Structure 1
Amino acid sequence: MKKHVVRYYLTFSAMLLLFYIALGSCFVLFQSFLSDELHLSAPQIGTVYTFIAFVALFCAPLFGAWQDMLGNSKKLLGIIGIGLVLCFPILGMLMVYVYHHVAFLPAAIIAGLYFGTMIQSGVGTVESYCEQATRHLGAFEYGRARFWAPIGCASATALSGYLLKINPYFCFWVSSISGVLFLLVLFSFSAKDLEPERKETIAEVEAQATGSFKDTFMLLRSTTFWALISFLFIATGGFMLFDQQFPLFYASLFPADMANEGAQRASMILSVQMIGEAIMTLLLPSLVNKIGARNGLLLGGLVMALRIFLISMTLHLPREIQPYWAGALKLLQAVEVPILIISTFKYISRHFAERFTATIYLLSFQCSQQVSTIFLSSLLGLSYKSSLGYTGTYTLMAIVILAFTILATFTLPRRGQSSIAGNATTTAAASQA
């Protein structure tokens, strides 16, 4: 790599690494903090996460549209970085104080506002910014920088599990320190260096920014947009719901007196999966470039449907091999998630104007996950306790994901762009879509 390319690779890698360290430190094990430190009941914890999901559901598209209007500007990322720095003051001090001295509900609102904006909406904003920046540079695949995202999350999650036993408030301190380092990295480069080489007048730039705000609402009239959103809603919602329930399912495969061991193994599997995602993020961009972004999305959907269906067969196997079967199939998620993320960014870049990248990504990935959390997780939990059980529920999930994947083969366009793309698409790019 050339010297300036190496510098930007290290910069965006560090941004993703530090953000995910902050996320893994304060959010992944936040449920354990609420139950073990604040002694909240299960319904109260559910209320907190519902607040988080509602805030993210509305803020994610706003962050996406805002960042698309800002283009290469780092203003919104700066706000997110400041939010990370304030993690300990907001969560470790303010939220805890309000809970102990005021009431539970205001404390839950504080947690919802913080996580819904800075973490759940911030993660898509940071990822879309880094993806656009690497595309502008054109010197390395975004996947090479995103390699450090799951590494950061896995290492922070492991560290948080240790810190929770010593002093759980240290987890928030780690997030705040990561936020400080995130801001230092953010301010270490100039956004002007990421501008496309073509020259534009000030009037043209302003016109484009204004147009992007108006055109954001025109996305609602794009059939390509709705085809992509509907597919990703099922796909990302599918692995989000599966992730939420997997620890309980995996622990149920062990005898009652070994439930803690089952939970520990599930945590280990998650860490190995994150490391696997990092490795696959390096390797899979070349595959997606070869088969095309559209086929990459379909492949991700097929892998997910097959994985969940095979896991639904777990209880039909001999009891001694059930944990190994379920654990091995959970690791297959390290393939499907990077494929979906990489293919989504490439599909957006080839079918929509560049200025819609953040909006579409946050709508498709983040909002679908929040809708799943708010409206579907409770229904899924009830289905586990009904006659369907884990086997029937996972089989039903696999059938729905497979059906939407098959439907996407007819609804996702192969070539060209949406009518509001605004950027010319080269023949080569279209042929890969």
Structure 2
Amino acid sequence: MMISGNRSDYIKISAFMFLFFVVWTMSFSLYAIWLGQHATLTSAQIGAVFAVNGAFAVVLKPIYGYITDKLGMKKYLLYFVAVMSSLLMPFFTYVYHPLLLSHFYIGIAVGALYLSLAWYAGIGVSESYCDRFGRLKGFEFGRIRMWGSCGAAMTASFAGILFNISPVINFTISSIVSLVMLALLISIKIPASDNIENAVVSKKKISLPDVGDLLKQGNFWRFCFYVAGIVWVMHIAEQQFPRYFVSFFNGNKQGTSWYGYLSTVQAIVEFISMMTVPWLVNRIGPYKTLIAAGLLIGTRLVISGFATSAIMIAFIKPFYGLENAMLLIAVFKYIADNFDKRVNSTMYLIGYQCFIYVGTIFVSAPIGALYDKIGFSKAYFIMGAIIIFFSLVSTFVLKNEKKIECRKDISTGSTLQESK
């Protein structure tokens, strides 16, 4: 049974994730559509935008990860992310949109900087902090993250409708919710005792040589191989998926509205999965879960390539919610099992979040051009086949064992080994 203090902490940190994904879904889930319809960019130009966004994210995510590990349980970086997010409406309306129309390349750079500070790096910091918070307080990350999915589900049902009226409405709501999110963060009290040495926070704080040591580990690069072959392609496929879905409708507005409803179903699937997948990961282990997630992602994209109607796509797409839950929960547990706790956030931000955007830099623009050349359906079939191939190879690449810890038997004085 959860004690009263931990129950209050759980409610507040879950509410934070709920609000963060309200903001994300209200604005960012429709970002590709906004770039195409309101900024009037081509698929190749949109691919270039995502590539530059990825480049800025690659620079900022390691910095955010290092700062997060350095701060321990302190929330200063989350405060900064919330403040940046609150500027969303004035930035998109009065800075980003005009720049994309008049000075395209300057607009890309300025937008990439803002989006990385507020969202691309911000989501990684938020999820990493919630994982750390949960492990410290004794509850599963998935049971916190599921409320983010709940926020996404509730918001997606009407975000597309508001977007059809005016995207400014979406951006304004996002800015207001960000301020509420900031107030909620301030209300979460972290005792000094939670920031000293324990199962989550190390007494010896991370230093730059620790990051260098992490990059020298073979296990780090084996994990990055998995991310490069599977998660890179998955995220690039999702970037312009809203445009693929809308293409099955005669009118963009009708497609945008239906995409909002589809996103609601997907978020509900993710919410349920975040509750149930921790049981699966604890039972079969993060290694097997990562492999299973890769095969599921690849299969979904291959089937998407054969889609001939919006109904078929609508049936397939919600599986992304299950895939995302499997990936996130398995990744955090894999990192906890195989890496020093001092570098957990750095590992997540560099090895997972940052490395995703390395792929975005190099692959987004070519894939965008591929969409224009051979169409969405053939491109999705190719991407799905690539993911299945890398999933099979990853069975030999990923490390399939748990970190071994030593403890002293008080009665005998002997040293025992036990799996984490």
Q: TM-score, normalised by structure 1?
A: 0.83
2:373 matches 1:373: no
Aligned counterpart, 2:273: 280
Residues 10-49 of structure 1 mapped to structure 2, 5 A cutoff: 10-39=11-40, 45-49=46-50
User: Match of 1:190, as an amino acid?
Assistant: K
Aligned counterpart, 1:54: 55
**Post-superposition shift, 1:405?**
1.8
- The SS at the match of 1:126 is helix
Deviations 1:285-320 (A, max 9, x none): 1111111111111111121122223334445xxxxx
**Post-superposition shift, 1:63?**
0.8
Residues 392-431 of structure 1 mapped to structure 2, 5 A cutoff: 392-417=378-403, 427-429=418-420
Taking a change above 3 Å as real, the CA distance of residues 175 and 6 of structure 1, as seen in their structure-2 partners, is: same
Answer yes or no: is the 8 Å Cα contact 1:296–1:339 preserved in 2.
Answer: yes
User: Match of 1:183, as an amino acid?
Assistant: L
**Post-superposition shift, 1:337?**
1.3
Moved more, 408-417 or 334-343: 408-417
Deviations 1:165-192 (A, max 9, x none): 4443232222221221111111112233
**Post-superposition shift, 1:41?**
5.9
2:126 matches 1:126: yes
Aligned counterpart, 1:230: 225
Residues in 1 aligned to 2:182 and 2:270: alpha-carbon distance in whole angstroms: 26
Residues 152-301 of structure 1 mapped to structure 2, 5 A cutoff: 152-192=151-191, 195=194, 205=203, 208-209=204-205, 211-251=206-246, 257=250, 261-262=254-255, 264-301=257-294
Aligned counterpart, 2:412: none
Answer yes or no: is the 8 Å Cα contact 1:235–1:401 preserved in 2.
Answer: yes
Deviations 1:124-172 (A, max 9, x none): 000000101100111x211111111122234334443233344432322
Answer yes or no: is the 8 Å Cα contact 1:222–1:418 preserved in 2.
Answer: no
User: Match of 2:119, as an amino acid?
Assistant: I
Answer yes or no: is the 8 Å Cα contact 1:147–1:281 preserved in 2.
Answer: yes
Aligned counterpart, 1:333: 320
Answer yes or no: is the 8 Å Cα contact 1:153–1:274 preserved in 2.
Answer: yes
Answer yes or no: is the 8 Å Cα contact 2:55–2:357 preserved in 1.
Answer: yes
Residues in 1 aligned to 2:44 and 2:416: alpha-carbon distance in whole angstroms: 50
Aligned counterpart, 1:2: 3
Unmatched 5+ residue regions in structure 2?
406-414
Answer yes or no: is the 8 Å Cα contact 1:417–1:425 preserved in 2.
Answer: no
Deviations 1:4-48 (A, max 9, x none): 121111111111111112222332223444455555566655544
Deviations 1:108-134 (A, max 9, x none): 332211102211000000000010110
2:343 matches 1:352: no
Answer yes or no: is the 8 Å Cα contact 1:154–1:275 preserved in 2.
Answer: yes
Answer yes or no: is the 8 Å Cα contact 2:164–2:253 preserved in 1.
Answer: no
Aligned counterpart, 1:87: 88
Residues in 2 aligned to 1:349 and 1:105: alpha-carbon distance in whole angstroms: 40
Residues in 1 aligned to 2:8 and 2:233: alpha-carbon distance in whole angstroms: 37
Residues in 2 aligned to 1:393 and 1:99: alpha-carbon distance in whole angstroms: 27
Taking a change above 3 Å as real, the CA distance of residues 236 and 350 of structure 1, as seen in their structure-2 partners, is: same
The number of residues matched between the two structures is 408
Answer yes or no: is the 8 Å Cα contact 2:43–2:371 preserved in 1.
Answer: no
- The SS at the match of 2:74 is coil
Residues in 2 aligned to 1:128 and 1:61: alpha-carbon distance in whole angstroms: 13
Residues in 2 aligned to 1:370 and 1:136: alpha-carbon distance in whole angstroms: 29
Residues in 2 aligned to 1:385 and 1:165: alpha-carbon distance in whole angstroms: 25
Taking a change above 3 Å as real, the CA distance of residues 425 and 369 of structure 1, as seen in their structure-2 partners, is: farther
Taking a change above 3 Å as real, the CA distance of residues 27 and 70 of structure 1, as seen in their structure-2 partners, is: same
**Post-superposition shift, 1:356?**
1.7
Aligned counterpart, 1:318: none
User: Match of 1:160, as an amino acid?
Assistant: A
% of aligned pairs identical?
28
Deviations 1:249-277 (A, max 9, x none): 445556xx467655544443232111211
Taking a change above 3 Å as real, the CA distance of residues 414 and 70 of structure 1, as seen in their structure-2 partners, is: same
User: Match of 1:401, as an amino acid?
Assistant: I
Answer yes or no: is the 8 Å Cα contact 2:43–2:372 preserved in 1.
Answer: no
Aligned counterpart, 1:151: 150
**Post-superposition shift, 1:223?**
1.0
Answer yes or no: is the 8 Å Cα contact 2:156–2:263 preserved in 1.
Answer: no
Taking a change above 3 Å as real, the CA distance of residues 168 and 400 of structure 1, as seen in their structure-2 partners, is: closer
